[in-house]
Amino acid sequence: MAEKQLPDLLKKPHLWCFSTYFAEGFPYSIIRSVSTVFFRDRGVSLEAVGLTTFFGLPWILKFFWGPLVDEFATKRRWLLAMQATLAVLIGAAAFLVPLPAAPRLIAILFFAGAFVAATHDIAIDGYYLAALDKTEQTKFLGYRVMAYRVAMLTGTGVIVTIGTAFSWMAAFLCAGLLLGLLAAYHYFFLPECETERRPFRNMLKLFTRSRILLTIGLAAALIAGLHFFFNSSLYHGWEEALPVLKELNFARAIGLGLLLALALLAALRKRLAALLTRNPESFYGRAFLTFMDQEKIGLVMAFIILVRSGEFMVSSMASAFAVDLGIKQHYGWIAGGIGLPASIAGALIGGWMISRLGLKRVIWPFLLAQNLTNVAYMLLAKGLGRYLVLNTGAEHPVFMGANNLALFAGVSLFEQFAGGLGTAVLTTFLMRICKMEFKAAHFAIGSGLMSLGGIVAGVSSGFIASWLGYSGMFGISFLIALPGMLLLFWVPKK
C-alpha cells in the first residue's frame, strides 16, 4: 500500500514547487555566482569578473522567446528539455578546467548555457502559474522562494567549497550530476498540467529559416573574429605603437559591444514594439499588448528595471570580495552553514507576512532591508581595507582573524535573510502583473526587465571596484538602489 502511495506523494506541489525552483536557481547560481569565484581564483581581473554580469543578458532578452514557451509544446516538456541540456553543459565545463584557456572557454560555455537557463526559467515560472490557482500560488510562494535561495546557496556554498578545497573539475561534475538527477525526478514524477497548443516540431521549423540561421552565423563569426584579432600579431603591434590600446582587450570589447547593443535596443524600443505587435491577433502581438495595457505601466516598468540594480552590483562582486580578503576557503561554509538557514528563514517569513498583511504593507520595508545590505558591505570593506591590500592576488594570504571572519559571516547572514524577504515581495509583485492567458510570457517580460538595470550596474561594478575600491563600489550600489525604492510611492500594488 505504501509503495502505491509513494508516487502520489512525489507528485504533490509541496515537493515539485521546491524541486523545480531549486532546479531554476541552481544553474543561475553556477553561471552567475560560482563562476565569479572560479574566474577570480584563476587570476581573472576585477574588470573581467564584472563583465560576467553579461551572463545575465539572456534573462533580459528572454521575453523575446517567452511567448514561444506558451505557444508550443507544454511547459513540462520545455522544462525537462532545458534541464537535461543544462546538466550536460555544466558537466562539460568540468573537462575544460585543466586546459590553459579554461577561463575563456568556460566563459563561452556559460554564456551559451545562460540562454538555456533563461528558457528553463520561463518554463518553470509558466508551469507554476498554470498548475496552481491564485490561492495556491500564494500558499506555495514560501516554498518556491525558499527553494530558489537554497539552490543559490548550494552553488555558492557546496559547489564553491568543492572547487576551492578539492578541484573545480569535481565541482562542475557534481553540479552537472545534481541537475541530471533533478531532470530524472521531474521526468517520472512531475505532473502534466496542460495540453499543448501546437507541436514542438512546428517551432523548430521557425529556426531553420535562412534569415535566423544567417543571423546566428554572423554573430558567431563576429565574436570569433574579435577573439583572433585581439590575439593577433597585428593588434600586438598596434599596442606597442599606441599604449592606450592595451586597455582594450577581447573581454572589454565584448562588454562594450553588448552595452552598445542594449543602448540600441533602448533607442529603437518603439520601432521594436511596433514590429512585435504588427499583427494584434498574433500570439506575440497579444502577449505584448496585454502586458502594456495595465495601470501606470510606465511607472511599473521603471520600478521593475531599477529596483534590483544595487543588489546586482553587490552580488557581482561579493564572491570576488571574499577571495581578495583571503577567505575563499571559508566562503563556502559561510554561505552554506550561515547564509542558507538565514535565507530560508527570510523566504518563509516573507511569504507568511505577505499572505497575512498583504503586499502593499510589506514591500517597502522588505526592499529597504535588502538594500541596507549594501551599506553593511561598504562598512565591512572600509574596516577590512588592510587585508584587501595584503591578500589581493597573494599566493599565501594573511588570515584576517576570527573576529573579522565572524563579522563577515554576520554581514553574509544579514544579506541572505534580507535577500529572502526581497525575493518574496518581488516575486509576488511580478505574479500580480501576469494575465491569465500569457502567464509565461508576462512573467518573462517582467523578470527580463528586472534584470535590465541590474546588468548595466553589474558590469560597471568591476570597473568601479578597481577605481574606488570595494568600499566605494558598495556605497555607490546603495545610491543606485534608491530611485527604484522611491518609485514604490507611486507604483500600483494590487
The pLDDT tens digits for 435-485 are 766 766 777 777 777 777 677 677 677 778 888 888 999 999 899 889 888
Into which CATH architecture does domain 2-208+268-489 fall? Answer: Up-down Bundle (1.20)
Dihedral angle, C-alpha 437, 442, 443, 448, nearest 10 °: 160
Q: Which of 37-41, 123-127, 184-188, 431-435 has the highest mean pLDDT?
A: 184-188
Residue 2 predicted with pLDDT over 50: no
Model confidence, pTM: 0.68
Query: Could you tell me the three cell numbers for 241?
Result: 605603437
pLDDT at 3: 42
Please write the tens of the pLDDT for every residue from 342-374.
888 888 888 888 888 888 888 889 999 988 999
87, 143 Cβ separation under 8 angstroms: no
Residue 490 predicted with pLDDT over 60: yes
pLDDT > 70 fraction of the chain, expressed in percent and rounded: 80
138, 355 Cβ separation under 8 angstroms: yes
Domain ranges of the chain: 2-208+268-489, 209-267
Closest listed residue to residue 50, CA positions, set 265, 314, 229, 230: 314
pLDDT at 205: 66
Amino acid at 97: V
pLDDT at 436: 64
* pLDDT level of residue 11 (50, 70, 90 thresholds): low
Give the chain's mean pLDDT: 80
Closest listed residue to residue 266, CA positions, set 453, 121, 433, 464: 453
pLDDT at 119: 92
pLDDT at 462: 76
> What is the rounded distance in angstroms from the CA atom of residue 340 to the CA atom of residue 153?
6
128, 20 Cβ separation under 8 angstroms: yes
Give residue 393's region: left, alpha or beta (phi > 0; psi -120 to 50): left
Please write the tens of the pLDDT for every residue from 197-221.
777 676 666 666 556 567 667 766 7
Residue 338 predicted with pLDDT over 70: yes
